[in-house]
Amino acid sequence: MKTGDVNQMTIGAYQGCEIVSFYNALVYLDKTQGRTVTDWIESLPYVGWGGDPGSGYAGNPWTSDEDIPDGGFPTIWPTALMSFAQENNIQVADLSGKSISEIKDAVLSEHLVEMWVTIDFDEPNITYDDYYGYKVVANTHAVILDGYNEKKNEFHVTDPIKGKYWLAESTIDSVYSGTNQFAIEFL
């Protein structure tokens, strides 16, 4: 599926992988509503540093790594992003906690899936086990799964930092299983 290819680093949204991935999905769905990625970022619900990412964006996606305050965890989780999507007439479903097979079925049905993983699909760096009920994954990242090759057992990934590439299902499953297992499906 031909998703957008906005790179979050290029636009200065250093912590904005969730919303940049969201925007890249909207490009494919033809649902940007004439708004730029910056417009979408600026219209997010913000809850401030240390706020609950299940209620809105905690922190600021424009913040560089070195400017994140101690204890800050810049992210937005599926519940808040799904509410934001629905308020903007974007139909989504929660796939959090679903198996990789169920996620693969969604992608094979030509539905985009946004998944919270890790940067470069490295091993999850868990710094807290209970932050508003979930783990803090210090190297958290969000990408779009937008294709699947059944012969090679690989997902096609649109990554808002690294671009577009194929990656083994087993690698994605391993990282997904080691994190909070967050994922949303675009309907």
Task: Tell me the DSSP string of 13-80.
Answer: -TT-HHHHHHHHHHHHHT--TT--HHHHHHTS-B--TT--TTTSBBS-TT--GGGSPTT---B--HHH
**pLDDT at residue 145 in the model:** 98
Whole-prediction pTM:
0.97
CA-angle at 129, arms to 72 and 139, nearest 5°? 50
Provide the pLDDT for residue 136.
95
Domains of the chain: 8-186 (3.90.70.10)
Helix (H) or strand (E) holding 104: helix 100-108
CA distance 85 to 78: 10
Instruction: Give the model's confidence band at 147: pLDDT under 50 very low, under 70 low, under 90 confident, else very high.
Output: very high
pLDDT for 71 equals 84
pLDDT band at 95 (very low <50, low <70, confident <90, very high): very high
Residue pair 126/136 in contact (Cβ under 8 Å)? The answer is: yes
Q: How many residues does the chain have?
A: 187
Supply φ then ψ for residue 175, to 5 degrees. -70, -45
* pLDDT > 90? residue 75: yes
Query: Is the dihedral angle over the CA atoms 52, 125, 15, 25 positive or is it negative?
Result: negative
